[in-house]
Chain A
């Protein structure tokens, strides 16, 4: 196992983080969106530590199928093995560090570095070099110089996650009861889900957290920010969220899912009645599979972020990662997810519909980018960055009498998930290891 990555040393935490992230008192400050020192702490204490989404199993069905992505700013290759497993390697040659795979996806028998011809097989082992004879004279041990493999890889219902930290809890523990909610989108039919072809990448001049937080629990913005898109797609305004009788904000370990139980509120904005009809058609079978409660979530007004930067919308079926590229820049990777068992024409409508609404050309997303960029840019001002930002909605909304798993709060129009998200962020930046991370969960581990 000599190819496993070296764990990085953890530096001391920054002082006075409480000045910019004081969740008990419902306030944060813009500095967390624009500060280089904070960003460097994030790369180390969040992105080199947490489980990060790297691929969907359907993208790499066969041996040698690969995609490349990043974990934080670290470039990695995600590749299917002969035994059906998945390995994740640093996309850097262990000789001089050159990138070994320049394509975003494909199928291969291995990777050859362009610099000195070091050649690696699908398992990441070094199998040859240009002028290989000269290495022998230096007592070179090939077995020690394969591609560096990340500490842990695991998946949940097709979603593949990886972590650089050998001390990280299991993926199952990390996700906790959020898996119960994830299944409403990712396991609502036999056969599970798949990504339709391709990945669209775009660039925002915003902090990665402001986007992730938007999906963790900010449905409040939708009715206002997206009014123009809703009118374009539906001919009227979006559903008034405060009219829903029952809706929730649920979180765990900083992950958050906010949702109503209206079945098709999200899918409706794609303006394709066939998709609403499809969800209504499968709903009884979802109820049988997951219970009635979650059958109401399959395309409902909702959003989710798995800490730190993996998000999706059930109904629109857009899946994305907010890749950090400095404190005030992200690359957004988006994919479209569909049920494997869905009819081809339904998959096709989702492929188009997701892009029409939530993509760089999406009529909804267009208005988000503007907001997120200026939430970030205003914090360039030294004084502005120090001012309190209100994050106190729903302070007293904890649901005590619920059978639902996770930390459950009443109502979607609620900043409970955003607070839990930033609290987790704060806790990670203050902890030198997983052991020091406080457990702030109070809800049930499992559904009753």
Chain B
């Protein structure tokens, strides 16, 4: 991933201060929707061709790297979703019988280190960021997930949509039992 960013930065063109601010606000808004369990509003931010991908991370030696280093397109993934899959996940959250969501999980999502560049086509943006998700359940359970994220956003009919999302956590072993949220 570092290699990708280094290479890209050479040719990438950062957006204006104003556009950077708009996109930063969009990412913060998106995360607030998740914290407030406004899942339908969150889904509405997804492009119909969304690829929402969080590959599994493999702890491999430098001489034995995979297609993308620590991950590969044909390996197991936490999320490798299109819009139908995301909609199904949201549907589970909304069932009264989602026993493990009642009492609710309390979420704080944070996004930082935001870099915004012009994308390949007009109205498209490449966004690098660092994310943090804190969840608490019950009286004393707390889970924190850190990651690096790359998004492709597109401006469509005056609204930003998320078209691609790559989430990379540093952990080869997830330090919690599940990821009952989006990142």
- Choice from B63, B91, B99 contacting A232 with Cβ under 8 Å: B91
Q: Judge whether A203 and B97 touch: CB under 8 Å.
A: no
List the B side residues contacting A271 at CB < 8 Å: 88
Asked whether, in the complex, the Cβ of A198 is within 8 Å of the Cβ of B75, the reply is: yes
Task: Write the residues of chain A forming the contact surface with B, with a CB cutoff of 8 angstroms.
Answer: 102-108, 196-206, 225, 227-229, 231-233, 271, 331, 334-336, 348, 351-352, 355-356, 359-361, 363, 365-367, 369-371, 373
Of the A-B pairs whose beta carbons lie under 8 Å apart in the complex, a sample of 7, sorted by A's number, is: A102-B61, A105-B58, A199-B58, A200-B174, A232-B88, A334-B76, A355-B77
> Are B64's CB and A106's CB within 8 A?
yes
The answer to whether B98 touches A203, judged by C-beta atoms less than 8 angstroms apart, is no
CA of A116 to CA of B99, assembled, Å:
53
A284 and B96 alpha carbons, distance in the complex (Å): 41
- Check if A198 sits within 8 Å of B58, measured CB to CB: yes
Among A108, A206, A334, A363, contact of B89 (Cβ-Cβ < 8 Å): A363
Q: Which of B84-131 contact A (CB under 8 A)?
A: 85, 88-89, 91-92, 95-101
Q: Which one of B80, B95, B177, B180 contacts A352 once the chains associate, using CB atoms below 8 Å?
A: B80
Asked whether, in the complex, the Cβ of B58 is within 8 Å of the Cβ of A104, the reply is: yes
Q: Contact between A370 and B100 (Cβ–Cβ < 8 Å)?
A: yes
Q: Which residues of the partner chain B approach A205 to less than 8 Å between Cβ atoms? A: 177
Q: Does B21 contact A (CB under 8 A)?
A: no
A200 CA to B74 CA, complexed, in Å: 13
CB-defined contacts of A198 to chain B, threshold 8 Å: 56, 58, 72, 75-76
Whether B88 and A363, one on each chain, are in contact in the complex, defined by CB atoms closer than 8 angstroms, is yes
Say yes or no: A196 contacts B74, CB within 8 Å. yes
Number of B interface residues in the complex (CB < 8 A) = 39
**Chain A residue nearest in CB terms to B89:** A363
Given contacts A359-B76, A373-B177, contact A228 B92 (CB under 8 A): yes
Chain A residues, Cβ within 8 Å of B95:
227-228, 231-232
| Beta-carbon contact of A369 and B177 below 8 Å | yes
User: Are A202 and B74 touching (Cβ within 8 A)?
Assistant: no
B44 at interface by CB-CB < 8 Å: no
A199 B174 Cβ-Cβ under 8 A? no
Within the assembled complex, what's the spacing in Å between the Cα atoms of A373 and B92? 21
The CA-CA distance from A64 to B101 in the complex, in Å, is 46
**Could you tell me the distance between the alpha carbons of A202 and B92 in the complex, rounded to whole angstroms?**
21
| B79 CB–A CB distance under 8 Å | yes
Residue contact A202 to B174, C-beta cutoff 8 Å = yes
Distance (whole angstroms) from the CB of A60 to the closest CB of chain B:
13
Contact, CB under 8 Å: B99 / A360: no
- Chain B residue numbers with a CB within 8 Å of A102 are 59, 61
B174 touches A201 (CB 8 A): yes
| Cβ–Cβ < 8 Å partners of A103 in chain B | 59-61, 64
Q: Are A351 and B173 in contact, CB atoms less than 8 angstroms apart?
A: no
Q: Judging by beta carbons under 8 Å apart, are B97 and A104 in contact?
A: no
- Return A39 CB to nearest CB of chain B, in Å: 19
In the assembled complex, the Cα of A228 lies from the Cα of B99 at a distance in Å of 8
A206 CB contacts on chain B under 8 angstroms = 177
Q: Which residue from chain B places its CB closest to the CB of A333 in the assembled complex?
A: B173
Min CB distance A358 to B, Å, is: 11
How many angstroms between the C-alpha atoms of A205 and B66 in the bound complex?
31
Q: How far is the CA of A197 from the CA of B72 in the complex (A)?
A: 8
Judging by beta carbons under 8 Å apart, are A360 and B72 in contact?
no
- Distance, CA A351 to CA B92, complexed state (A): 20
Q: Are A106 and B61 in contact (CB under 8 A)?
A: yes
Q: B172 near A: Cβ within 8 Å?
A: yes
Q: 18 new A-B pairs (CB below 8 Å) besides A228-B92, A352-B85, A370-B100?
A: A103-B60, A107-B64, A196-B76, A198-B56, A199-B58, A200-B76, A228-B98, A228-B101, A231-B95, A232-B91, A331-B173, A334-B76, A352-B77, A355-B78, A356-B88, A360-B177, A363-B89, A369-B177
Shortest distance in angstroms between B66's beta carbon and chain A's nearest beta carbon? 8
Name the A residues within 8 Å of B61 (CB-CB): 102-103, 106, 108
Chain B residues near A352 (CB, 8 Å)?
Answer: 77, 80, 85
